[in-house]
Structure 1
Amino acid sequence: METTSKQSVAEPVAGQPTNPAGVRQYDVAAVNRGHKPKLYKGREPIYPRRVHGTFRRLKWWIMAITLTIYYVTPWIRWDRGPYAPDQAVLVDLANRRFFFFIIEIWPQEFFYVAGLLIMAGIGLFLVTSAVGRAWCGYTCPQTVWTDLFIWVERLVIGDRNTRMKLDQSPWSAKKARLKITTHAIWLAIAVATGGAWIFYFSDAPTLAAQFLRGDAPAVAYITVAVLTFTTYTLGGLMREQVCTYMCPWPRIQAAMMDERSLTVTYNDWRGEPRSRHQKRAAAEGKPVGDCIDCNACVAVCPTGIDIRDGQQLPCITCALCIDACNEVMAKVGKPRGLISYTTLADYAANAARAATEGVEAARAKQVLPGWREVFRPRVFLYMGLWSLIGIGMIVSVIARDRLDLSVAHDRNPRYVQLSDGTIRNGYTIKIMNMEPQPRQFDFGLVGLPDGLMWSPDVFDEPARRFAVEVPPDQVREFRVFVKADASKLDETPKPFSFRTFEIGGRESVETPAVFETP
Structure 2
Amino acid sequence: MSSTDQDPDRLYAAREPIFPRRVSGRYRTLKWWIMGITLGIYYLLPWLRWDRGPSMPDQAVLIDLANRRFFFFWIEIWPHEFYFVAGLLIMAGLGLFLFTSALGRVWCGYTCPQTVWTDLFILTERWIEGDRNRRIKLWKSGWDAHKIRLRVTKMAVWLAISVATGGAWVFYFADAPTLLGELVTLRAHPVAYTTILVLTATTLVLGGFMREQVCIYMCPWPRIQAAMMDEDTLTIGYRDWRGEPRGKHRKAEGAETLGDCIDCNACVNVCPMGIDIRDGQQLACITCGLCIDACDEVMEKIGKPRGLVDYMALSDEGRERAGQPPKPVWKHVFRIRTILYTALWSAVGVGLIVALFVRSDIDITVSPVRNPTYVTLSDGTIRNTYDVRVRNMQGESRLFQISVQPSDLFRVEVEGARNGLVEVPPDAIELNRVYVMAPPGSAAASAQSTDLRIWLLDVEADTRTYKDTVFNGRNAR
Matches within 5 A, 1:224-373: 224-280=196-252, 283-284=253-254, 287-351=257-321, 353=322, 362=323, 365-367=324-326, 370-373=329-332
Query: Partner of 2:383 in structure 1?
Result: 424
Q: Which moved more, 1:222-231 or 1:494-503?
A: 494-503
Q: Distance in 1 between matches of 2:367 and 2:140?
A: 75
Q: Which moved more, 1:172-181 or 1:417-426?
A: 417-426
Query: Partner of 1:6 in structure 2?
Result: none
Query: How far is 1:447 from its partner?
Result: 1.2
Deviation per CA, 1:130-155: give whole Å up to 9, x if none.
11110011001110000000000000
Query: Partner of 2:368 in structure 1?
Result: 409
Query: How far is 1:314 from its partner?
Result: 0.6
Gaps spanning 5+ residues in structure 1: where?
Answer: 1-10, 15-23, 27-36, 354-361, 460-464
Query: How far is 1:286 from its partner?
Result: 5.9
Q: Distance in 1 between matches of 2:346 and 2:243?
A: 42
Gaps spanning 5+ residues in structure 2: where?
Answer: none
Deviation per CA, 1:195-220: give whole Å up to 9, x if none.
00111111111111111111111111
Q: Is the 8 A contact 1:275 1:293 kept in 2?
A: yes
Deviation per CA, 1:162-186: give whole Å up to 9, x if none.
1011111111111110111011100
Q: Distance in 1 between matches of 2:231 and 2:470?
A: 63
Equivalent pairs counted in the alignment come to: 470
Q: Which amino acid aligns with 2:358?
A: A
Q: Which amino acid aligns with 1:334?
A: K
Q: Is the 8 A contact 1:500 1:509 kept in 2?
A: yes
Q: Aligned to 1:483, which of 422, 437, 455?
A: 437
Query: How far is 1:497 from its partner?
Result: 2.1
Query: Partner of 1:64 in structure 2?
Result: 36
Q: Aligned to 1:516, which of 466, 472, 475?
A: 472
Deviation per CA, 1:363-393: give whole Å up to 9, x if none.
xx54375221112221111111101100110
Q: Distance in 1 between matches of 2:225 and 2:234?
A: 12
TM-score (norm 2): 0.95
Q: Which amino acid aligns with 2:126?
A: R
Q: Distance in 1 between matches of 2:350 and 2:131?
A: 48
Query: How far is 1:510 from its partner?
Result: 2.1
TM-score (norm 1): 0.87
Q: Distance in 2 between matches of 1:343 and 1:513?
A: 60
Moved over 3 A (4+): 11-14, 283-286
Query: Partner of 2:403 in structure 1?
Result: 444
Q: Distance in 1 between matches of 2:255 and 2:167?
A: 64
Q: Distance in 1 between matches of 2:370 and 2:229?
A: 58
Q: Which moved more, 1:370-379 or 1:102-111?
A: 370-379
Structure 2 SS opposite 1:235: helix
Q: Distance in 1 between matches of 2:409 and 2:304?
A: 95
Q: Which amino acid aligns with 2:112?
A: C
Q: Distance in 1 between matches of 2:180 and 2:318?
A: 57
Q: Which amino acid aligns with 1:287?
A: T
Q: Aligned to 1:54, which of 12, 19, 26?
A: 26
Q: Distance in 2 between matches of 1:504 and 1:181?
A: 63
Query: How far is 1:451 from its partner?
Result: 3.1
Q: Quick one: percent identity of the two aligned structures?
A: 56
Query: How far is 1:277 from its partner?
Result: 4.0
Q: Distance in 1 between matches of 2:350 and 2:428?
A: 29
Query: Partner of 1:496 in structure 2?
Result: 452
Query: How far is 1:13 from its partner?
Result: 13
RMSD: 1.9
Query: How far is 1:85 from its partner?
Result: 2.6
Deviation per CA, 1:290-316: give whole Å up to 9, x if none.
010111000000011111111111111
Q: Which amino acid aligns with 2:469?
A: A
Query: Partner of 2:422 in structure 1?
Result: 468
Query: How far is 1:514 from its partner?
Result: 2.7
Structure 2 SS opposite 1:334: coil
Query: Partner of 1:462 in structure 2?
Result: none
